[in-house]
Structure 1
């Protein structure tokens, strides 16, 4: 199974963001990818006051990526977007997965929200405008069980263990990981989630500067169940591809059965 991570610098111009996303999906399909993964908030990453109106899971955002999946004949994990939430003050941070027929096959709402105060460096309270999801999701993609997550979820290993126990063989992490934490934690956490759950990890990130005063780390990557980085995107708007070898995953789980040996 060949996969692609698509790395963007989404900003205030939603139409331009979507054009770039579509171009990267075309490049992924041209490279032979069966699944392409986009980053968190792929359609808009900018000031809240100019953000697009939240949509339902069958709105314009979904129609755009469903059509792209159908026309390109690939599975598309559409990163995430602002889905209409439980009240007027809150949205959901939601991932959608589309089949090569353009059908919506899975929906995941981000569970862990980024509420962080670092004096003089960052102040961000995602929960002020985003409601948490409540359900873990393992989606069937091209016959492979795939566990879904978003960005800050990465710091909560119990989520990924639950996904692995539920049968996930691949874990997906669309993200807009901040530069000041990403340079030290991004790869370490991704490799840890791969090793401890004996799963492939596909992580697609935003790259570069975004208003207001946000810089994302990028370095989108694909990691195997041994913790080896199979592919990593450079610091640019681009794609990176890798082949997932499921028999290798089976061998790793058989030779070092840590997932099977768990007692808690």
Structure 2
């Protein structure tokens, strides 16, 4: 019996909403299109749509985005229920939550499990523009199991930092999910190209799931084309693209990942980067200071 995992990427479109109930209806309609998936991924900060439920939101400065943290309890309840009733693991994109000490916000990816448990990943490398929202960085990289598969989370700009995926892969990650929210086409391609590179160099699957939509200022538009990516090698699509969404429109894509094929590729593929990177670890130690300079 082959080891497989069916994943779905939900390319969520931000729209103006009159309250959390409207947002939740949109989420549920999209989740209804993921019935075959064991793991569902939503985009980074797709909850920014909730900013539009505030009276006078168009007159707010971009720095006010952190106020979506007011909806954290409603957001958590929605996805806790959805994971349980749908019997799915849901990476509910990311959401801004208030830091425990009350200073600033944390861009946090929540993972909801059918048994009611929840894990969190705080984005470790914030995009420069995020500093204007008072966003602080996390310090933990820890993959989690989904059945027999080990999954890591790398939120948007983290995917552009190779060390993040390397650490996750060294901890056993076979799949890396990358919720993202990019404001321009150039930003989208930075993350997309880096996601493909992370799949190749670590010999892992990557789910890149961006936010789309343009409710208007002060919210930035989202440029999106979700994809499920693999190494570019025999047994996979030549371009490494297993599934791809429509551009800049709400969409859901699904792919069945073959983990046996992935592990065979690590052993016998044309480019065995997963093992070769470990094989030359002695070389890297010689340049440790250059690789990991003191801040």
Normalised by the shorter chain, which TM-score bucket? 0.7 to 0.9
Displacement after TM superposition at 1:56 (Å): 9.7
Q: 2:99 aligns with which of 81, 85, 94?
A: 85
Q: 1:44 aligns with which of 22, 40, 48?
A: 48
1:243 aligns with 2:249: no
Q: 1:146 aligns with which of 145, 148, 151?
A: 151
RMSD: 2.1
Displacement after TM superposition at 1:43 (Å): 1.9
- Counterpart in 2 of 1:178? 183
Displacement after TM superposition at 1:48 (Å): 4.7
Give the direction of change, closer, same or farther, for the CA distance of 1:92–1:12 in structure 2 (3 Å limit): farther
CA contact (8 A) 2:48 2:65 kept: no
- Counterpart in 2 of 1:200? 205
- Counterpart in 2 of 1:61? 75
Displacement after TM superposition at 1:20 (Å): 1.5
- Cα distance in 2 between the residues matched to 1:240 and 1:178: 21
CA contact (8 A) 2:200 2:273 kept: no
Q: Could you say which structure has the higher strand fraction?
A: 1
- Cα distance in 2 between the residues matched to 1:51 and 1:97: 20
CA contact (8 A) 2:63 2:133 kept: no
- Counterpart in 1 of 2:116? 102
CA contact (8 A) 2:94 2:110 kept: yes
1:232 aligns with 2:237: no
Displacement after TM superposition at 1:52 (Å): 4.0
Displacement after TM superposition at 1:53 (Å): 5.0
Displacement after TM superposition at 1:127 (Å): 5.7
SS at structure 1 position matched to 2:193: helix
Q: Deviations over 1:211-257 (max 9, x none)?
A: 32622111011011336111111021110011101011011100143
Q: 1:167 aligns with which of 172, 177, 184?
A: 172
Unaligned runs of 5+ in 2: 52-61, 233-238, 285-295
- Cα distance in 2 between the residues matched to 1:175 and 1:183: 9
Q: Deviations over 1:78-132 (max 9, x none)?
A: 101112214434111111111223321x2100011111xxxxxxxx343651110
Displacement after TM superposition at 1:203 (Å): 1.3
For the pair shown, the structure with the greater C-alpha radius of gyration is 2
**Structure-2-length-normalised TM-score:** 0.79
